[in-house]
Chain A
Amino acid sequence: MKSLPVNLCLLVVLFTGCASTPPAPSIALTGDPVRDGYARIQQGLPEDRILWQYTTSLELLRRGQVEEAARLLDDALLSQDAMATDGGRQARMATKVFYPESRKIYIGEPYERAMAWFYRGVIYWMQGQPDNARACFRSAQLMDGDAEGDSYRADFSVFDYMVGLINRIYSGDDQNMFNFARENVTSDFFPEPIDNPNVIFIFEFGKGPRKFRTGSYGEELKFRDGSSGVNSIRITLPDGQALVAGPMDNLSWQAKTRGGRLMDHVLGRKAVFKRATSDIGDAAIMSGVILGAETKHDQTALTVAAVGILSKLISAAAQPQADTRDWSNLPQHLSVLPARLPPGEYETRVQFFDQGAQPIPALTKTVSLAINPGAKPLAVFISEFSR
């Protein structure tokens, strides 16, 4: 009987040992998102590798380093696909009570997975492979295909619009895809499809949604809305002709309309366990104190209190907190605009306008176009964050 408290202490040590998580390696950051991204990919935690591949590839794309962005995204998408079907030991650990959800290898929530496919599609098109671009836009839409509510499934407007545009190039027409895109657009802006476009402008602007956790133990994953100071974009050609685009998709909306996850139930159970073991611990410690004070059963009181402490420690070791790792440089809005422009090499001025239709001079950019007559439509990616 005397050895019971000792055994309990050993059990406590055992449990708290389970709860330890590997420390994040210290990485010397430079402030340059690309250099820091590569450092994190190479030296960071393996479970965060895909996250840094996503963020770094997007930064590369915004800088016009398309081939490097493609390489990172290809690797990330291969891993994303593999992990989604077989997450291995780390995925199983993430469901255990004493391991946090963030132990699983990050592949992102559906809107983040969809965006990885979307950017790869944009790059394929920029590389002159519209059929592979279409494949990526389809995969992107499919990533958003398991939302809880029917009306929120596969409801990115831009993805369908891009598939519709590429279908036109190959098979003449696909009004269905444009109809789907029109149904899901989140603002008044919807570019009417035109015949034989030779330039497809693809836009992103605003700062996308961020994750946070709530609930008694942080077991609930929530999304904070992103924001955008930009409301529209104007492209001015050398002859004065202007093209205007507004937002078509809202990523915060996409993040929030996904609905409940299966993992939310797992985290909910972990939280119940944490609360129950904590309550049991409180009750046992209190009982042990009362027993010790009011009776002469010191050994029994000690044992009951030790059980209480053990239960409290087990509760402390339980990790129900939701995984809030997120793709932090995603935009708030996506849009697309097909155009038929005169052939030749020239520069265009791209201006961003705020909610009051006033230009934001700091964001004005110059985009060079080289349009060859008879060539496949050119994809031009324009970001508020382009350098």
Chain B
Amino acid sequence: MKISYLGITRDVRVITALLLLSLTACAGVRNPHQTGVTVLDASETGTVAGSGIESQDIVSICDEMARKLLNTPQIMNAVVPPTVFVKPVENNTRFPINSEIFTDYIQGRLLSQSNGKFTFLARENMAALEDERNLKREGAVTASSDPYVQEFLGADYIITGKLTGQSTRTSAGMSDFILYNFQLIDTRTSAIIWGGQRTVKKQSVEEAVYR
């Protein structure tokens, strides 16, 4: 016998409840189809983590440094946007890195958040820029201004970065300490206008079969 409540039979209510349960079970599952690939935000520490320099370190450190740089009085109060060159970071750790990630990320954050407070110099493209200028000088391509006038900008400031590491190994595993150090340097006076630091320490225990 079917019992009806508000015109809905018990069978329908049970099926609905089961459906709801299964749907709520899916909520919060990051990879419900078990595809082997999970899309994460770059600032998250995933389940696959190593002891090296990882995306969450790069993102959180560059975000913090960009924020602090923007609040530097010399930048905030500048009447004319200063020209800035971001120098590739020096890697003094035990982990090989692609130093362009730091340069590109910091420059990208500053560009998107600064509302025109900076003018960045594309020094990494200098060779291509010089080639183009030479073509203009030779008359091989058109020029909208006199190509013999020096218009390449010099930098008012340089942003530098250095990653310094100290690693320890014991029979149980390894421990890595990394100091991320960034500076804003006035190219005219060589004065360090601003400095920002972050430290990260990671340790990894080694599998018994490999010890």
Contact = CB atoms under 8 A, between A and B. Distances in A.
Contacts of A333: none
A134 B165 CA distance: 12
A138 B207 CA distance: 21
Given A83-B210, A95-B209, A261-B211, A142 B94 contact: yes
A104 B173 CA distance: 18
B209 A81 contact: no
Contacts of B24: none
A91 B96 contact: no
19 contacts: A81-B50, A85-B50, A85-B206, A85-B207, A87-B207, A87-B209, A91-B210, A92-B209, A129-B96, A131-B90, A132-B91, A132-B96, A134-B92, A135-B93, A135-B95, A138-B93, A142-B169, A146-B169, A262-B171
Given A85-B51, A85-B173, A146-B169, A101 B91 contact: no
B211 A263 contact: yes
A145 B207 CA distance: 16
A267 to B, nearest CB: 10
Contacts of B93: 135, 138
A266 interface: yes
A84 B210 contact: yes
A263 B208 contact: yes
A115 B65 CA distance: 37
Given A85-B207, A263-B208, A136 B170 contact: no
A101 B209 contact: yes
B91 A135 contact: yes
Nearest to A139: B94
B204 A85 contact: yes
B200 interface: no
Contacts of A94: 209
Contact of B96 (A107, A136, A142): A136
Q: Which of B171, B173, B207 has the most CB of A within 10 A?
A: B207
Nearest to A113: B210
Interface in A134-166: 134-136, 138-139, 142, 145-146, 154
Given A134-B91, A139-B95, 16 more contacts: A83-B210, A85-B173, A85-B207, A87-B207, A91-B207, A91-B210, A94-B209, A120-B96, A135-B93, A138-B93, A142-B94, A142-B169, A154-B169, A263-B210, A263-B211, A266-B208
B93 to A, nearest CB: 6
Interface of A: 81-87, 91-92, 94-95, 101, 104, 107, 120, 124, 129, 131-132, 134-136, 138-139, 142, 145-146, 154, 170, 261-263, 266
Nearest to B206: A84
B192 interface: no
Given A142-B167, A145-B169, A131 B211 contact: no
B42 interface: no
A92 B92 CA distance: 35
B209 A104 contact: yes
A120 B96 CA distance: 10
Contacts of A134: 91-92
B209 A135 contact: no
Contacts of A82: 50
B208 A81 contact: no
A266 B208 CA distance: 9
Contacts of A124: 96
Contact of B92 (A91, A107, A170): A170
A135 B94 contact: yes
A83 B169 CA distance: 16
Contacts of A129: 96
A91 B209 contact: yes
Interface in B125-165: 165
B205 interface: yes
Nearest to A144: B169
Contacts of B209: 87, 91-92, 94-95, 101, 104, 262-263, 266
Interface string B178-211: 0000000000000000000000000011111111
A378 to B, nearest CB: 19
A261 B209 CA distance: 9
B174 interface: yes
B174 A135 contact: no
A101 B173 CA distance: 20
Contacts of A154: 169
B92 A131 contact: yes
B52 interface: yes
B159 to A, nearest CB: 17
A83 B208 CA distance: 11
B173 to A, nearest CB: 7
B97 interface: yes
Contacts of B99: 131
Contacts of A261: 211
A138 B94 contact: yes
A154 B168 CA distance: 11
